[in-house]
Structures are given as structure tokens and as C-alpha cells.
Amino acid sequence: MSQFTHFNKQGRTQMVDISNKEDTVRAAVAKTSIEMKKEVYEQIVRQEIGKGDVLAVAQVAGIMAAKNTSNIIPMCHPLPLKAVDIVFDWKEVQHFYKLIIEVTAKTKGSTGVEMEALTAASVCALTIYDMCKAVDKGMTIGKTYLVEKTGGKSGHYIRE
């Protein structure tokens, strides 16, 4: 079992030792989406949701999630994030509206920021669901995935 970096000599879980890894600039882009009825879309863009400005709150929640990833994902290292950016893009799909959420996270350190970007995207979508569920409990959170990552020993990854 010792060839797996997340297991110690006894086969028990451990936090990976990254103390000998070189600090490099690292970035990750993650995406997710949330699909909703036209009524919810219209209330969001007109800022008529009773809990407040949905996209502003979701953006802050996503940034906070990125900053706290190591507190909720057990084997993640705490990272000194240098930037987190969240952008939204609306798409009309048949009779529904889909909000695409894209998160870019950056750091300079010895481990990547993929988990921070993915966590931020997920929490952003969950926050939108929470703020709008009184209007539509049938909203659907879509696939969450890594789009791209740069930096570190494993190099540049781009999703096909």
C-alpha cells in the first residue's frame, strides 16, 4: 500500500507530504451549472428573490468555500489562495434556463488548486439552490468538472 501517497506503511490514510515539492504558480478552472424554470431566472435577474441578490451572495459563498476547502475535504492542504474569480453565463435550453458557473482559482505553492475551484463551483450552485428553492424546488445542479489546470509537476491539463 505504501506506493499510494494517501496511505502510510500501515495502510492507513495520511495527508500527503508535499514538503519537498517546489512552489510554482498554479491555477485551476472548474465549471458547474444549475438549471431552473423561466420564473426563477426572471426573479434572479430582476433581483426579486426574497433572500437578496442571488448571484452576489452565491459569488461570495463560492469564494468563501474556496478559502475553506481544507476544512471540509479531509486530505486537502490549506492553501494561500492568491485569486478566486467566479463568472456566470446564462443559457436558454428549451423551456428552462441554465446558469453556467465558472470558477478560476490561483495560488503560488506546492500543491494544486483543483479542489478549491471545484468546491467553490459546487457551493456557488448550492447557494443559488438554497436562495431560490421557495420558488422552484425542482432546480437541477449539473455536472461539476475540472476544465483546466496549470502548474506543478503534472503539467498542463485541459479537459477534452
Q: Look at strands 24-37 and 140-141 and give their pairing.
A: antiparallel
Residue 64, all three cell numbers:
468563501
Residue 44, all three cell numbers:
434572479
Q: What is the mean pLDDT of residues 24-36?
A: 97
Q: Look at strands 24-37 and 96-109 and give their pairing.
A: antiparallel
Q: Is the pLDDT of residue 3 over 90?
A: no
127-137 tens-digit pLDDT: 999 999 999 99
What's the confidence (pLDDT) of residue 14? 84
For residues 81 and 114, what is the distance between their CA atoms, to the nearest angstrom?
12
> Does residue 25 sit in helix, strand or coil?
strand
Q: Which amino acid is residue 122, in one-letter code? A: S
Active site residues: 130
The residues near 32 (Cβ < 8 Å, ≥ 6 apart) are 101, 121, 122, 124, 125, 141, 142, 143, 144, 145
Contact 137, 36 (CB under 8 A): no
What Rg do the C-alpha atoms of the chain give, in angstroms?
A: 18
46-63 tens-digit pLDDT: 999 999 999 999 999 999
